[in-house]
Amino acid sequence: MTPARRLTRLGGLLIAALVVASVAAGCSSGGGTADVKVTDAWARASSAVASAGAAYMKIENTGSAADALIGASSPAATTVEVHETVAMGSPAPDASGDGGMMGMQPVKRLEIPAGGTVELKPGSYHIMLIGLKQDLKVGDSIEITLTFEKVGEIKVTATVRES
Amino acid sequence: MTDGTPGKGDAQIVAASPRPMAPTRLALLTALALGFAALAGVAIGTVAWLSLPSAAPPSSTSGGAIWPVSPTPEGLTRDTALRPVAPAPPLQLTDQEGRPFDLASLRGTPVLVFFGYTHCPDVCPTNLADVRDALKLIDGDVGVVFVTIDPSRDDAAAMKQYVDYYQAGYVGLTGTDDEIRTTAGAWGVSYAKVESDSASGYAMAHTADTFLVDAEGRLRHRIWFGAGPEILAARVNGLATEVLATPAPAATPPPSLPAAASPAASTPSAPTPAPSSEVPSPSPATAVRVRLESTVVRAGPNRIVVTVSDPNNRELATPDVAATFTFRSTDDPALAPVEVQGTFIWVVRGGKAAYVAEMTLPRAGGYDATITLHGPAGRIGSVGFVLVAREQSPTPPIGAPAPSVRTPIASDVGGNLQLISSDVFPDPRFYEHSVDELLAAHRPFVFTIYSPAFCPTTACGPLLRYLKELAPEFPAMTFVHAEPYVMRDMGGRIQPEYEGNGYAWAAWSQAYGIPVEPYVFVVGADGRIVGSFELIVGSDEIRAAIRTATGG
């Protein structure tokens, strides 16, 4: 069993425990429940010197109500935030410059639509691990706790790899 | 290059709109972005997410829709070439060891250059990972240079820890705010500090494109962020076969030019930016190209330096490749040809390399020269070139008395070496004695005329660092370093004065007649020149000359 599958199972168990709360929350957005699964979680190998690392994963909502990722934490970092890499500035990359500018911004609430999947991946949404407490070495794994609006907390284990 | 660690809190917004943008501007940009995407068939990343208006694609604000920045099928055919082909913009900053770095020092290999910062968790590591994966798909060496656009946080030490982590010989560059701003501007790179309430402090928005510089130092491609390793590798591997819209502006003066330079070279007023001539192989069967680095060839004892490459500009000089030189006088064909084995030397250890031929040319005039390369597997190839030996050289020949000239020393500037040296880490022992003092005291010395920060030639490299490493081996020898140019104090930092189209040579440079820098002279206790090394010199060559000078 791959770590990712184990995670899914773990996530599923947690969801089961939290399902009552999520139903209640689900009512406000038109009924239905959210059922969130997290798969393929990984963190990029990184030196603690870099001060900030990134983790990526797929978040799938198989429920009938939307949910949203609203927070995260990890013993591997002082602070964990959801960020998004976005293209900024003039959109047309050309030889005159000003093109291809990429920036990053915190995302307070990342909606996971009912029946939808949001992929956190390089160059897009990512879990930003701020103030790494150790080097993230290939083969290690780190724990990240994701907080969703409805299903509450889901603990995932992200394996560290190069890309 | 003296203040590599600028104060905090003075990051600049460069060539970019202040943020946050007004929603209308966002919407406009988004519309433009989508329009461009449609036209060019390009994935535009997540620009749409920025846009709040309903004109944005479905559910973009909910996070349900993701526009990938990752490679697209049409990516491989997307045009990244920059036209017209022109030399890469200047890239002279401070490397992760605190040493001056010039992109020209990587001449001979293609180089991937990109800009970022060490606190960057997503974009920069993605770029580094893509580059690392691309290198596996590329034949031959590729230089990788990462330039910070966040010098307030990224000093040389931070860059060192960052690039050392990758253990791949990447170069990490930083500089002062001004240097970074100027460099980024020259490369068409925008960056801006983006404040947010994130616990990570401010973020930097920055151009994340990767620039590809070819082995001849020309900027050839600008590859968008997220293109991926395959496209990066394809662009590097395609350099050699790509048809250039504009002929390369390669410097191809007549081969005789360096040696036959005008007599004005003996009273130099400005350094020649490209002192070398490039001579194509005369026979299509040979795959060797030679570049004569030396500018001074004279009748009598000579030391000439050449670099060799294949037609794809891959360097052919390696420690296990032998180079044999032959020189035939064209003015007097009856003279026996001079044949000599070249000595392999590193210009940059483990990187750029060259061959040195030491020989005595029997007379002034033209010579047909040939270099033949032999590797472990046999003959690699051969190439001919022409050189012209002058009757006299602008620099004092071996055996001549070293000109007595006053050079700047630490006590002239109250010990503030940064006012007399552009070396980031000047070694105080190199500034204790002036050349005239040493000659008067009959003490042997090594006199280096070189500007680590302002050297304009392709031969500039870590010369001074090598000399600093070598100095402790020879306690009886005094080492002297002087900047080649008249320097002006620009508020604690020195910069060369201009004269004509180049820098103004200092009095000692004129006294020694150097037409280019760097130059290293080794002088014996009798005040006579024992070694004279132009542009490129191997540590062992210096050692041998020092032993001669000290009678060791």
pLDDT band at B322, cuts 50/70/90?
very high
Poorest-pLDDT segment among B265-274, B289-298, B487-496, B505-514: B265-274
Reported ipTM: 0.73
| Residue B43: predicted pLDDT | 28
Q: What does the DSSP 8-state code read for residue B88?
A: P
Instruction: Tell me the shortest Cα–Cα distance from A22 to chain B, in angstroms.
Output: 19
Number of H helices, E strands in chain B: 10, 27
Contact criterion met (CB < 8 Å) for A86 and B46: yes
In terms of pLDDT, which residue wins out, B362 or A20?
B362
Say whether pLDDT at B281 is over 80. no
pLDDT band at B74, cuts 50/70/90?
very low
Q: Which residues are CB-contacts of A148 (< 8 A; sequence separation ≥ 6)?
A: A34, A36, A67, A68, A69, A70, A112, A154
In terms of pLDDT, which residue wins out, A101 or B421?
B421
Contact criterion met (CB < 8 Å) for A107 and B129: no
pLDDT band at B400, cuts 50/70/90?
very high
pLDDT band at B40, cuts 50/70/90?
very low
| Residue B478: predicted pLDDT | 96
Q: What does the DSSP 8-state code read for residue B552?
A: -
Report which listed range, B65-69, B178-182, B312-316, B345-349, is most confident. Answer: B178-182
Say whether pLDDT at B237 is over 50. yes
| Residue B524: predicted pLDDT | 95
In terms of pLDDT, which residue wins out, B207 or B78?
B207
pLDDT band at B186, cuts 50/70/90?
confident
Say whether pLDDT at B250 is over 50. no
Q: Which residue of A has its CA nearest to B226?
A: A123
In terms of pLDDT, which residue wins out, B252 or B166?
B166
Structure token pair of residue A149? 């609006």
Q: Rounded to whole angstroms, how far apart are CA atoms B50 and B478?
A: 63
Contact criterion met (CB < 8 Å) for B206 and A47: no
pLDDT band at B238, cuts 50/70/90?
confident
Average pLDDT for B330-338: 89
CB B177 within 8 A of CB B91: no
**Model pLDDT for residues B470-485, shown as the tens digit of each residue:** 999 999 999 999 999 9
Average pLDDT for B186-215: 84
**Which residues, given as ranges, of chain A have pLDDT below 70?**
1-31, 48-50, 88-100
User: What residues of chain B, 184 to 203, have a C-beta less than 8 Å from chain A?
Assistant: 187-192, 194, 196-200, 203
| Residue B266: predicted pLDDT | 35
Say whether pLDDT at B153 is over 60. yes
pLDDT band at B501, cuts 50/70/90?
low
Q: Which residues are CB-contacts of A27 (< 8 A; sequence separation ≥ 6)?
A: none
Instruction: Tell me the shortest Cα–Cα distance from B220 to chain A, in angstroms.
Output: 11
Structure token pair of residue A12? 């599923």
Q: Which residues are CB-contacts of B540 (< 8 A; sequence separation ≥ 6)?
A: B345
- In 3D space, the residue among B485, B263, B199, B284 whose CA is nearest the CA of residue B393 turns out to be B263
In terms of pLDDT, which residue wins out, B154 or B166?
B154
Q: Rounded to whole angstroms, how far apart are CA atoms B57 and B59?
A: 6
Say whether pLDDT at B2 is over 90. no
Structure token pair of residue B404? 């007595």
Q: Which residues pair with A158 in a beta bridge?
A: A142
Looking at every residue in chain B, the average pLDDT score rounds to: 76
Looking at chain B, the whole-number percentage of residues with pLDDT higher than 70 is 75
pLDDT band at B276, cuts 50/70/90?
very low
pLDDT band at B244, cuts 50/70/90?
low
pLDDT band at B154, cuts 50/70/90?
very high
Q: Is B134 on the interface with A (CB under 8 A)?
A: no
Nearest to A102 among B37, B68, B206 (CB): B206
Report which listed range, B3-12, B80-89, B376-385, is most confident. Answer: B376-385
| Residue B85: predicted pLDDT | 75
- Model-wide pTM > 0.80: no
Residues from chain A contacting residue B37 (CB–CB below 8 Å): 91
Give the residue from B26, B167, B200 with the most A CB atoms within 10 Å of its CB, the best one to mutate. B200
Nearest to B66 among A78, A118, A129 (CB): A118
| Residue B460: predicted pLDDT | 65
Contact criterion met (CB < 8 Å) for B16 and A98: yes
pLDDT band at B257, cuts 50/70/90?
very low
Q: Tally C-beta pairs within 8 A across A and B.
A: 205
Say whether pLDDT at B159 is over 70. yes
Nearest to A91 among B36, B132, B205 (CB): B36
| Residue A100: predicted pLDDT | 58
Q: Rounded to whole angstroms, how far apart are CA atoms B205 and B65?
A: 22
| Residue B457: predicted pLDDT | 56
| Residue B116: predicted pLDDT | 93
CB B149 within 8 A of CB A101: no
Q: Return the beta strands (E) in B71-163 as ranges.
A: 81-87, 92-94, 100-102, 111-116, 143-148
| Residue B500: predicted pLDDT | 66
Residue B155 has φ and ψ, to the nearest 5°, of -85, 180
User: Residue A85: enclosing H or E segment and its boundaries?
Assistant: strand A77-88
pLDDT band at B459, cuts 50/70/90?
low
Q: Rounded to whole angstroms, how far apart are CA atoms B299 and B472?
A: 35
| Residue B194: predicted pLDDT | 79
Looking at chain B, the whole-number percentage of residues with pLDDT higher than 90 is 35
Q: Is B118 on the interface with A (CB under 8 A)?
A: yes
Give the residue from A101, A109, A163 with the most B CB atoms within 10 Å of its CB, the best one to mutate. A101
User: What residues of chain A, 81 to 140, have a C-beta less than 8 Å from chain B?
Assistant: 81, 83-93, 95-107, 110-113, 116, 118-119, 121-126, 128-131
Residue A124 has φ and ψ, to the nearest 5°, of -145, -135
pLDDT band at B360, cuts 50/70/90?
very high
Residue B199: C-alpha distances to residues A69, B70, B102, B374, B514 (Å): 18, 28, 36, 60, 56
Say how many CA atoms lie within 13 Å of A100 toward its Cβ: 25
Contact criterion met (CB < 8 Å) for A124 and B64: no
